[in-house]
Amino acid sequence: MCILKNPNGYGTVVRLSGNRRNPYAVRKTSRFNEKGHPVYVNIGYAPTKEAGMIMLAEYNKSPWDIEADKITLAALFELWKEKRMPKLGTSNAASLCSAYKHCKALYGMKYNQIKSYQMQDCIDSCGCGYSTQGAIKNLFGHLDRFAMELDIITKCCSTLLTSAPIPETSKLPFTDEEVSRLWENQFYPSADSVLFFLYTGFRISEMLALKVSSVQEVEGVTVIMGGTKTEAGKNRLVPVHSKISTIVQNRIAQSKGGYLFEHNGKKLNETQYRVFWGAVMDALQMEHTPHECRHTFRSRLDSAGANKVCIDRLMGHKSKGTGERVYTHKTISELKFNIELITS
């Protein structure tokens, strides 16, 4: 039986001891120490030897620049972005790329010289809330683990990092002052979408699914037909509040792909929108989630004395008073009257 060996300098795949998810280490000799023993660079880990050999072959086609004493944070991030980030979900990847922008002070530093207090300073000085702080902490965790694989560092400084805790409540309504601030800055990119949320009560998935054709004239009232989550909420009619009428018309005029909310002429997905949302919140110094617009919409209707049945219809909730959902002229007029009770 002939056993084929890898050529000298090609690298090897070895099985590690213990019960591991990825038990095969893919490594390559980088140099020899003063005793003549090989010093290995870990390229990665694989679930099977075959998968490890594929990883080794891909590495040899385009070797990574992994000189431990020279690689900077910026270089490590670009390498991690190429080799590891594709395995992450799109939302997580976008969050980590956004977090990286807050680490500019360390871009040129050699990664193996960066201390935990310097990482912590990126978190503390970012000027953002718990979500962004958590993303920066998460990013350093990813980079540390990747750097450990490549033998760039011997310990993970990111384990010592802290970030702002998540608020106890996840449903904080917008204050009147914050709504006023949004109107004052309505032409800031995507700020109009936040106002749209606040005066319609749609969920984020429902809003992004709205088409130009969703805006209709029914019984003399301009309404938006939308909603997807529940039977009571599907294809519900929400009258366009007079305050956002211009916003809706502008969105229709700007549409290139047939959707109210687009990016480069294509339908916005939730990951893209959350990036835009975060930019608005940071610029206007607010801490809210898109779903809190829906919560605010209901709270403002309640405070304005809106009819309970109308509130449930607008929110897409099922209640005793809603009965079979049939939209008559009277029903639509009542919905329009109640939604206009929100005066600010």
- In this structure, how many other beta carbons lie within 10 angstroms of the beta carbon of residue 279? 15
Among 173, 194, 171, 172, smallest CA distance to 182 is for: 194
Beta strands in the chain (DSSP E): 12-15, 24-32, 38-46, 215-218, 221-226, 236-239, 262-263, 266-267
pLDDT attached to residue 68: 67
d(CA 25, CA 59): 13
Q: How buried is 302 (Cβ within 10 angstroms: 0-12 exposed, 13-18 middle, 19+ buried)?
A: exposed
pLDDT attached to residue 1: 47
Q: In the chain, which segments carry CATH 1.10.443.10? A: 176-339
Tell me the fold of 73-160: DNA polymerase; domain 1 (1.10.150)
Q: pLDDT truncated to tens, each residue of the chain (344 aa)?
A: 455 567 777 888 999 888 888 899 888 876 667 777 777 777 778 899 998 898 888 877 766 655 667 789 998 999 999 888 988 877 788 889 999 999 999 999 999 999 999 999 999 999 888 888 989 999 999 999 999 888 888 899 999 999 887 665 557 899 999 999 999 999 999 999 999 999 999 999 899 999 999 999 998 999 999 876 555 457 789 999 999 999 999 999 999 999 999 988 999 888 889 889 999 999 999 999 998 999 999 999 999 999 998 998 999 877 655 444 556 666 899 999 999 999 98
How far is CA 9 from each of CA 27, 32, 150, rounded to the nearest angstrom?
11, 12, 17
* DSSP state at residue 6: P
d(CA 157, CA 117): 9
**What digits encode the pLDDT tens for the residues 74-91?**
989 999 998 889 888 777
pLDDT attached to residue 4: 59
Q: For residue 259, report the phi and psi dihedrals to the nearest 5 degrees.
A: -110, 150
Whether residue 196 contacts residue 296, with contact meaning beta carbons closer than 8 Å, is answered with: no
- In this structure, how many other beta carbons lie within 10 angstroms of the beta carbon of residue 76? 23
* Residue 99 host element (H or E): helix 90-100
Rounded-to-5 percentages of helix, strand, coil across the chain: 50, 15, 40
Amino acid at 335: L
pLDDT attached to residue 119: 96
Q: Which residue has the tokens 């011997």?
A: 154
d(CA 148, CA 125): 26
Pick the CATH number of 176-339 from 3.40.1350.10, 1.10.443.10, 3.40.50.150, 3.30.70.120: 1.10.443.10
Render 121-145 in DSSP notation, one character per residue: HHHHTS---HHHHHHHHHHHHHHHH
pLDDT attached to residue 231: 52
d(CA 85, CA 203): 29
**303 token code pair:** 């405070």
d(CA 209, CA 48): 42
Among 132, 170, 147, smallest CA distance to 278 is for: 132
pLDDT attached to residue 326: 58
